[in-house]
Amino acid sequence: MNISSIAKASGVSVATVSRVLNNESGVSEELRRKTLAVIEGKGYRPRENIRRGTRIAMVVQADAPSFENFFAQIFTGVSTYALEHGVETTLLYHTSGERDGEPQSLTELLRKKRCNGAIILTPLDPAEGRALLAARIPTVLVANRTDLAGIGYIDCDCHRGALEQTEYLLRLGHRHIGFLCGHLDGVVDHQERLAAWKQAMDSAGIVPRPGWIVAHHPTAITEQAGYDQTRQLLEKHPEITAIFATNDSMAYGAISACVELGLRVPEDISVVGYDDNPTSKFYNPPLTTTRQPLRDMGEEAAQWVDLKLKNKLSVLPQKVIHGDLIVRRSCALPRG
């Protein structure tokens, strides 16, 4: 009996089982009782190294969006590995500076929470990274990168993925393609997606108008941002026939804005996202996107930190993998 089997038998996610086993908040009493009953009934026991103090933190920014999609997939991967190998995990929200007199440097926060390893889902400040190295806390970034040797990362080649996705729209015949930006400062993945869009357009001999790139600074990469940016884009540039959204959540908002403006997707306008959230294949219309294997990435990151803590891994890897273009029904030939 493993953690995935418990989740299936309980009718809950792996992340929920993790919260129950670690006695964390965010689970209703009904689900907690149901899950504990399955755990007791199946005789599941985490492996012994939990009692030896192996505790890995998954770190996100304090103002991070909800756990419903991107982060949840990574957390599920981390939890799957951790609970099947007897490693305790915890979720930490981090912000720089001090808050209510509490230490907020990441290294201090990890020590306060008795964590001896970290998996970070947001951009890492170089100074924080050097402090983690000095403290000898094994650290891996997921869906982010760093130039610091000694800190691991696993990320997708977003330049290649975004290039393939833009070229797909160009092959359909689109020449007026808008781009909805996410965070650009310090976020390599988002920078790569925009750079790839520009490269594909340039290779096709297209000079985008400045207004075809829409960004709000600062902006959360959410449905609301996609909605707002699409309204701004289409009200100023009605010639747009396709929209590249930085992630799937923004693509959902883009589709809602298109519908409000009387545009049918994909008959009147095509929309693509990025990441392949679990809900994207069920969206109306099902969303064309690029899949990042986020759950697998989380699982591999947890394995690296665990092996490093056990002195079975000399150097934490820095790895870039490829995503896959997933063609569904949110794109069509340009109108007219």
Q: Which residues fall within 8 angstroms of residue 105, CB to CB, at 6 or more apart? A: 96, 128, 131
pLDDT in tens, 76-116: 999 999 988 989 999 998 876 555 555 578 999 999 999 99
Tell me the pLDDT of the chain averaged across its residues. 89
CA 189 to chain centre: 10
State the burial class of residue 260 (Cβ atoms within 10 Å of its Cβ: 0-12, 13-18, 19+). exposed
What string of H, E and C letters represents the secondary structure of the chain? CCHHHHHHHHCCCHHHHHHHHCCCCCCCHHHHHHHHHHHHHHCCCCCHHHCCCCEEEEEEECCCCCCCCHHHHHHHHHHHHHHHCCCEEEEEEECCCCECCECCCHHHHHHHCCCCEEEECCCCCHHHHHHHHHCCCCEEEECCCCCCCCCEEEEECHHHHHHHHHHHHHHCCCCCEEEECCCCCCCHHHHHHHHHHHHHHHHCCCCCCHHHEECCCCCCCCHHHHHHHHHHHHHHCCCCCEEEECCHHHHHHHHHHHHHCCCCCCCCCEEECCECCCCHHHCCCCCEEEECCHHHHHHHHHHHHHHHHCCCCCCCCEEEECCEEECCCCCCCCCC
Residue 321 tokens read as 């993998």
Q: Of 156, 151, 113, 182, nearest to 298 (Cα)?
A: 156
Report the pLDDT value the prediction gives residue 96, as an integer from 0 to 100: 64
Greater confidence (72 vs 141) lies with 141
Report the pLDDT value the prediction gives residue 223, as an integer from 0 to 100: 93
Given a contact cutoff of 8 angstroms between Cβ atoms, the answer to whether 104 and 112 are in contact is no
Greater confidence (108 vs 10) lies with 108
- What are the backbone angles phi and psi of residue 88, rounded to the nearest 5°? -80, 140
Q: For residue 50, name the pLDDT band (cuts at 50, 70, 90).
A: very low
Q: Rounded mean pLDDT of 114-141?
A: 95
Q: In which residue are the tokens 């297209």 written?
A: 206
Report the pLDDT value the prediction gives residue 49, as an integer from 0 to 100: 44
CA 249 to chain centre: 11
Neighbours of 62 (CB within 10 A): 12
What's the rounded Cα separation, in Å, for the pair 225 and 180? 9
Question: Domains in the chain, ordered, with CATH?
Answer: 1-45 (1.10.260.40), 48-156+294-323 (3.40.50.2300), 158-292 (3.40.50.2300)
Residue 108 tokens read as 């201090």
Angle at 315 between CA 310 and CA 321, to 5 degrees: 110
pLDDT in tens, 185-233: 767 888 999 999 999 999 999 999 989 999 866 667 889 999 999 999 9
What's the rounded Cα separation, in Å, for the pair 303 and 308? 8
